[in-house]
């Protein structure tokens, strides 16, 4: 059985980090597997940092824009192999699909580029030096998550064409670990909290191999035990609990022991925040209290690293979000590295956790058309909608299994800006929403993100959502440059939503304008810093008129890289911060508003 728990080091478990410079090779003709590169070693490799995207370390355009097969390779040293230990290789992610080889033997494969890839390595690793090889591929199609296509140019080069507005970064984006865990091991656990009259009940369920006894203990920050239990499932009772609050996080430590004949054979510790999440009427409640969501849509995106995880970049992002007064972000448009969630747990930030269900609207290759509400079908004529739904379902299952115990995660987003106006769309998404509700032990709210085409009178999917997320660009893609007319149109739509769903919370998950931090203009014009501020103020005035609006997540936290195009000046410039994380002038206006709320 594969163990996907985040790697830890303790007296029983070992986790060896394999990050660093790996060997790398492009394979544009897909010849490497037949030529035996996994068995013989990569011919003429170059060095490549892990974790990182490969695109932005290069200086040649063909390397930056490469689409197709590519290989990574490194050496793994195993000092000792014990018979009572299991060995796993765990990748935080490999974009978008991969096959993993150990000492030339196929050890595992995975479809989907934003969730862990774990392979059972015990049958392949030997004591001493081992070769770890990865064959990966970053092509897009209409069954991949996210969706897109590939165009072959006249000279034979492939070009990825995403049905989405962010760069198709690829590579080994997150850390790689060699994990040693006991032969009889703790495999997974679930927790859920309830609160009543100064008491907390934490239900737990532990999945473990064998017939050993499970012991569970909850300790406070000082390490003092406050509750304990025995058995693979049970309830921990906590008197006068310290709650995990928004921007005021308190974390306990949950200790799980697996014992046989009085001897501990496995041990796993994890932070635990006591908090509840519920939607009631048109409010989102944390610990029974309404919360107004303030923050951003983001991207895992930074200079040079691309989508590769960096603690320094993540730390800077959290400091910027704290400075501006935010309390929430959406992991647009895919699950982020696990370390983002661990930091959010510590800082008290709320996360709308989004699966990579993006690009399910072909016109979104022309984002302006989608933003203006251009009609578009997708699911009815998708060439293999069953395979797409299978890959989408796998992503839903994997993200919930990975992130279910994080107190920072308050909702699951099943898709971003998909086609939702047809019966085929409804039938496609209904099983995904049902699965998310069934899989989550905490029964968090489930939502999806609607663009302009998914209007009140046309959308078939909004009734499935516990709260409704809208991406709207009145004043940019719609009536750009005329904020007075944009406001009129915006209110006209919100009045329609007020009639359709007055008792459902609404969260604006995208609104924004491209802005050059070097451009000032009076009177304002689009792309100027002045226009960005005026646009934000117009949106705020609309938000404040409708009591069912319970959140505003601006698009975007920071400027980010996209593909090339006449409407993109070296990327999307809708950030309140520049790509190197410096505030634009509108960030100060946002700060003043959010600090008063």
pLDDT in tens, 522-568: 999 999 999 999 999 999 999 999 999 999 999 999 999 999 988 88
Share of the chain above pLDDT 90, in %: 91
Structural domain of residue 385, as residue ranges? 291-596
pLDDT of residue 371: 59
User: Considering 275, 309, 329, which residue would you say is the last residue of a domain?
Assistant: 275
Q: Are 410 and 304 found together in one domain? A: yes
419: CATH: 3.20.20.80
Q: Cα separation of 589 and 584, whole Å?
A: 10
**197 and 314: one domain?**
no
pLDDT grade, residue 369 (50/70/90)?
low
> CA–CA separation, 90 vs 16, rounded Å?
10
Residues 308 and 452 in one domain: yes
For residue 567, what pLDDT is reported?
85
Predicted confidence (pLDDT) at residue 6 exceeds the cutoff of 60: yes
Pair 218, 263 in one domain: yes
Q: Which domain CATH number covers 230?
A: 2.60.40.10
The length of the chain in residues reads: 597
Q: Judge whether residue 375 has pLDDT over 90.
A: no
The neighbour count for residue 564, using CB atoms within 10 Å, is: 10
Whether the per-residue pLDDT at 368 is higher than 70: the answer is no
Which residue, chain included where needed, has tokens 């609207």?
Answer: 361
pLDDT value, residue 89: 97
Residue 261 has pLDDT above 60, yes or no: yes
* Same domain? 564 vs 541: yes
pLDDT in tens, 398-438: 999 999 999 999 999 999 999 999 999 999 999 999 999 99
Residue 338 is a catalytic residue: no
> For the chain, how many structural domains are there in total?
3
Report the chain's C-alpha Rg in angstroms. 24
Residues 122 and 243 in one domain: no
Catalytic option among 300, 417, 451, 493: 417
Average confidence (pLDDT) over 464-492 = 97
Query: Which residue in the list 73, 142, 398, 510 is annotated as catalytic?
Result: 510
Rounded distance, CA 474 to CA 485, Å? 9
Q: Is residue 339 part of a domain?
A: yes
Question: Which of 190, 179, 180, 182 has the alpha carbon at shortest distance from 258?
Answer: 182
Where among 166, 182, 198 does a domain terminate? 182
* pLDDT number for residue 167: 94
What are 67-96's pLDDT values in tens digits?
999 999 999 999 888 888 999 999 999 999
Distance between CA atoms of 175 and 316, rounded to whole angstroms?
A: 19
Q: Is 444 found in the same domain as 382?
A: yes
Instruction: Give pTM, 2 decimals.
Output: 0.96
Residue 84 pLDDT: 85
Which helix (H) or strand (E) element contains residue 439? Answer: helix 423-439
| Strand 69-78, strand 128-137: pairing | antiparallel
Give the CATH number of the domain where residue 104 resides: 2.60.120.260
pLDDT given for residue 184 in this prediction: 85
Does residue 119 sit in the same domain as residue 251? no
| Mean confidence (pLDDT) of the chain | 95
**Over 70: is that where the pLDDT of 28 sits?**
yes
Is 417 catalytic? The answer is yes
- Mark whether 204 and 175 lie in a shared domain: no
Chain centroid offset of residue 24 CA: 26
Note the pLDDT tens digit of each residue in 279-305. 999 999 999 999 999 999 999 999 999
* Residue of 357, 416, 382 lying closest to 142 (CA atoms): 382
> Which regions of 51-175 does DSSP assign to beta strands (E)?
69-78, 85-91, 97-102, 105-111, 117-120, 128-137, 148-152, 158-162
Is position 1 within any domain?
no
- Cα-Cα end-to-end distance for the chain: 48
């Amino acid at each position: 059985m594969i163990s996907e728990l985040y790697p830890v080091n303790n007296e029983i478990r070992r986790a060896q980090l394999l990050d660093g410079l790996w060997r790398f090779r492009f394979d544009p003709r897909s010849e490497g597997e037949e030529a035996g590169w996994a068995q013989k070693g990569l011919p003429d490799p170059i060095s490549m940092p892990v974790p990182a995207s490969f695109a932005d370390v290069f200086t040649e355009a063909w390397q930056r824009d490469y689409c197709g097969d590519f290989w990574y390779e490194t050496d793994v040293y195993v000092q000792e192999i014990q018979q009572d230990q299991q060995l796993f290789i765990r990748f935080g992610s490999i974009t978008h699909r991969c096959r993993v080889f150990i000492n030339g033997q196929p050890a595992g494969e995975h479809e989907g580029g934003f969730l862990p890839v774990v392979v059972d390595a015990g049958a392949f690793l030997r004591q001493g030096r081992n070769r770890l090889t990865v064959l990966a591929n970053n092509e897009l199609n209409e069954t991949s998550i996210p969706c897109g296509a590939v165009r072959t140019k006249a000279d034979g080069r492939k070009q990825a064409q995403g049905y989405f507005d962010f760069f198709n970064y690829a590579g080994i984006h997150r850390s790689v670990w060699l994990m040693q865990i006991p032969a009889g091991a703790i495999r997974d656990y679930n927790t859920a909290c309830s609160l009543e009259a100064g008491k907390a009940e934490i239900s737990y369920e532990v999945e473990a191999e064998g017939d050993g006894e499970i012991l569970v203990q909850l300790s406070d920050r000082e390490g003092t035990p406050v509750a304990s239990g025995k058995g693979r499932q049970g309830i921990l009772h906590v008197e006068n609990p310290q709650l995990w609050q928004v921007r005021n996080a308190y974390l306990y430590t949950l200790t799980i022991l697996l014992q046989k004949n009085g001897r501990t054979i496995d041990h796993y510790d994890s932070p635990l925040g006591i908090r509840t999440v519920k939607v009631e009427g048109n409010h989102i409640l944390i610990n029974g209290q309404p919360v107004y969501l303030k923050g951003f849509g983001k991207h895992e995106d930074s200079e040079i690293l691309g989508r590769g995880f960096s603690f320094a970049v993540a730390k800077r992002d959290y400091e910027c979000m704290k400075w501006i007064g935010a309390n929430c972000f959406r992991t647009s448009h895919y699950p982020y590295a696990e370390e983002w969630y661990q930091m959010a747990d510590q800082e008290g930030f709320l996360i709308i956790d989004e699966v990579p269900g993006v690009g399910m609207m072909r016109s979104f290759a022309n984002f302006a058309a989608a933003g203006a509400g251009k009609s578009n079908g997708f699911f009815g004529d998708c060439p293999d909608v069953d395979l797409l739904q299978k890959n989408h379902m796998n992503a839903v299952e994997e993200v919930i299994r990975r992130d279910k115990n994080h107190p920072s995660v308050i909702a699951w987003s099943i898709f971003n800006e998909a086609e939702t106006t047809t019966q085929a769309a409804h039938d496609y998404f209904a099983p995904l929403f049902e699965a998310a509700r069934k899989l989550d032990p905490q029964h968090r709210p489930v939502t999806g993100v609607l663009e302009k085409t998914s209007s009140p009178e046309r959308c078939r999917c909004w009734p499935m959502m516990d709260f409704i997320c809208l991406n709207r660009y009145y004043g940019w893609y719609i009536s750009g440059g005329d904020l007075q007319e944009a406001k009129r149109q915006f209110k006209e739509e919100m009045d329609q939503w007020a009639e359709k769903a007055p008792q459902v919370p609404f969260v604006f998950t995208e609104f924004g304008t491209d802005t050059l931090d070097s451009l000032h203009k009076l009177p304002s014009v689009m792309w100027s810093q002045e226009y960005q501020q005026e646009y934000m103020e117009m949106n705020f005035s609309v938000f404040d008129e409708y009591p069912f609006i319970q959140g505003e997540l601006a698009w975007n936290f920071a400027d980010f890289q996209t593909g090339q195009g006449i409407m993109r000046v070296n990327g999307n410039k809708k950030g309140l911060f520049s790509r190197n994380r410096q505030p634009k002038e509108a960030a100060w206006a946002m700060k003043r508003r959010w600090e008063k709320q």
